[in-house]
Structure 1
């Protein structure tokens, strides 16, 4: 017999909405004491009362009208994520990166001449096509609130020298015959400057906005700068050469301890002796002798000699040679697994930040003094103008520090992205060679034949070639 004090309790529901409002869940609570089940309309009204407007799964809801479990969490509604538009992109009708792979002749020497480094374009050629970014697709949450999408970012490309664009800005054309490439983020067509003689007193220093071809030697103390590539068919002596693009030194460098070579792309040289070299790309040569070399990517020393001896040679990823060091125990230092040029940029940025912060401290002290006097009406017009200039300068310094800090974060990310490098030796490493692979170190005490050196844990591991 039913207890008259037991009051019927009808079935009820609870709706839970996720914190991001992208999902809604319903829980059914069992009726008690002969309480009744909720009707289809009551359930729908309750969902509406809880604010659910979008993304209701009607198939799930329909099934729950007929059959449902109690105290079970049903995902009854889902929002729709906004879809970001696709970024614009550039289709280049030329190779933006030239892969250097010299051919080896039958006699064992390497052909450094026919590398086809110059990418030619003719007036009127379509050298690039820009694909515009697309609009995104808006979304919504379960409460019906819109989630706005963002449009794709436009392609990061700019016109440089000797390049025009169509009216809609989606096609780039060469306006002159020359070498096409990407330099400092801009598509440019560079005309080539040729020197049929030595670089000497008859030519003076060379500073050119395109590529430079030198048929003779580059004598000591002269300077050659090119915004494109540099090709030298003679010998480079104790000179200074810098190219934003690649560099091909067909007869090598005899630097006499004075040569300074800086390359934005890849360097190919017959041999490298007694000089300082900084390369942002790869290095291919037959020998590196008593030189200080910093290379962001790979160093491959082949041909008949394939020798690295003396000096300090650093590469971001790979050092490959036939022989490293000498039988006389010439001290030679190799480093891989870190981009030396990124590290140098990070160091310079850090010094610049410290210098600017010091300037800001001095400027702020003067600003505080002038502001204190200004509140007491003790500043003449000249000092008031000075105060305005100091405020403007401080604001500029603050923005500059923020920019440099952002650059530092990006540089550190790039530095940390570099995986451990390796050293590959086709014939042997001689004694007295210091080897650094990331933070692992070893010094050779005896000849090591045909080997590959990698970092394993905190040590340098030697394995077969």
Structure 2
């Protein structure tokens, strides 16, 4: 009690409380006012108290300076913040192909658009890198207001799966093709298909097809479209006036109705229900039920069997054998059979012959210029530029002469190989009709009447006919 007898109130100094957020990433202070003449906290006392509570990081100096001078009581002041960790960047996949196919007609050099070439098939080859995996980063650690490390989280590794004909590199950074084929993403997996399958017709919806594997077409191939395969081609519909080319075997289940526009080229065999009004070149054998009004070149056997077994009109050339039931027609439709001649050798011989003729013309013109310049040079009538021109022409003429010599030697060898082929045969189960030209190696005959059930071979300079 004081001198007047009143009860003396307790004197209390100003105090503060430090509070932390649940995650310890923020620190707050709350000041409690002095009572009954108690002392306020000094700046040093405030700093010391905060320090003793373990607050070490990222002091909010502006807030502190403010509350040193003028502060409210029972109010939260945010005096410190930690540093949030930075999450690592997620990994990613860089695809070296289109994961979503877009119809994009090919632009020609003149700026026009080719609506037959839609670029829907994306080919890859063995060893091609299909995708690159960028790994996730580790990120950066943070810390709370007590100075404790707040660990970061690593980025997420991209989820990528390999499908058939795809492998991952040893370091896990790349996916590459183990086969030639069409690349795509199926059920989240990168796959390479060795077979490209078309469920519809080959038309403006599919565009031309150019594939490094084999192709299966469930529908027809319409006029003016092209199908190329490095493997085999199977067409279950009809081939119209289209171009079909494969390095392997071609199987045309319903045949080809070419309308004079179709071109069929096979590095292996050709199996076609019928062949009509088209050009055919085959390095293997041909098997068909009918060949009509077509230009056919085959390196080995042409066998026309089945219900009709008919060869009618056009030219059929085979390296070793032509076999059919009926050749020509009762009306005398002109038909040509050539056997015992390798059509590839003949074609190469023709091309070489054309090139030789062109080179001879070019050489003759060039030699005229050379002679003219040489005559002027002997009279010292050429300036520096003309002398340089003369040197170039002499080099060109030497190159032309060398090339001509090589081609002529090649022609001699080709002709020798062509003449060596002397074992061709024609077999006809029913009959050969009139007006059929028959060539067996260098021998020739023309039919003027029916020849029934016969075999034809070259004997000496003539063609011998024997019973089937």
| TM-score bracket relative to the smaller structure | 0.5 to 0.7
TM-score, scaled to structure 1: 0.56
Alignment of 1:65-464 (within 5 A): 176-178=178-180, 191-464=194-467
Deviations 1:184-235 (A, max 9, x none): xxxxx99444333222112323334444333321111222333443332221
CA separation of 1:445 and 1:367: change in aligned 2, threshold 3 A: closer
Distance in 1, Cα, partners of 2:380 & 2:437: 68
CA separation of 1:448 and 1:372: change in aligned 2, threshold 3 A: closer
Determine helix, strand or coil for the equivalent of 1:363: helix
Distance in 1, Cα, partners of 2:201 & 2:233: 14
Determine helix, strand or coil for the equivalent of 1:435: strand
Bigger Rg, which one: 2
TM-score, scaled to structure 2: 0.55
| Bigger Cα displacement from structure 2, 370-379 vs 287-296 | 370-379
CA separation of 1:175 and 1:371: change in aligned 2, threshold 3 A: farther
Partners of 2:419 and 2:441 within 8 A in 1: no
Residue ranges of structure 1 left out of the alignment (5+ in a row): 1-121, 125-161, 163-173, 180-188
Determine helix, strand or coil for the equivalent of 1:242: strand
RMSD: 2.9
Distance in 1, Cα, partners of 2:369 & 2:229: 45
Determine helix, strand or coil for the equivalent of 1:220: coil
Distance in 1, Cα, partners of 2:450 & 2:179: 54
Partners of 1:199 and 1:217 within 8 A in 2: yes
Measured after TM superposition, the shift of residue 340 of structure 1 is: 3.0
Deviations 1:368-406 (A, max 9, x none): 332343444433333233223222322322222122123
Distance in 1, Cα, partners of 2:231 & 2:412: 29
Residue ranges of structure 2 left out of the alignment (5+ in a row): 1-124, 128-164, 166-175, 182-191
Partners of 1:190 and 1:228 within 8 A in 2: no
Partners of 1:178 and 1:192 within 8 A in 2: no
Deviations 1:149-204 (A, max 9, x none): xxxxxxxxxxxxx9xxxxxxxxxxx962358xxxxxxxxx9944433322211232
Distance in 1, Cα, partners of 2:434 & 2:300: 26
Distance in 1, Cα, partners of 2:454 & 2:243: 36
Measured after TM superposition, the shift of residue 255 of structure 1 is: 0.9
Distance in 2, Cα, partners of 1:252 & 1:412: 35
Partners of 1:367 and 1:391 within 8 A in 2: yes
Distance in 1, Cα, partners of 2:449 & 2:282: 31
CA separation of 1:214 and 1:457: change in aligned 2, threshold 3 A: same
Determine helix, strand or coil for the equivalent of 1:460: strand
| Bigger Cα displacement from structure 2, 208-217 vs 395-404 | 208-217
Partners of 1:190 and 1:211 within 8 A in 2: no
Determine helix, strand or coil for the equivalent of 2:401: helix
Report what 1:138 is aligned to. none
Measured after TM superposition, the shift of residue 323 of structure 1 is: 2.1
| Bigger Cα displacement from structure 2, 351-360 vs 452-461 | 452-461
Number of matched pairs: 287
CA separation of 1:258 and 1:371: change in aligned 2, threshold 3 A: same
Distance in 2, Cα, partners of 1:228 & 1:317: 25
Report what 1:91 is aligned to. none
Determine helix, strand or coil for the equivalent of 2:291: strand
Distance in 1, Cα, partners of 2:344 & 2:303: 18
Distance in 1, Cα, partners of 2:327 & 2:290: 10
Distance in 1, Cα, partners of 2:449 & 2:240: 34
CA separation of 1:402 and 1:190: change in aligned 2, threshold 3 A: farther
Determine helix, strand or coil for the equivalent of 1:199: coil
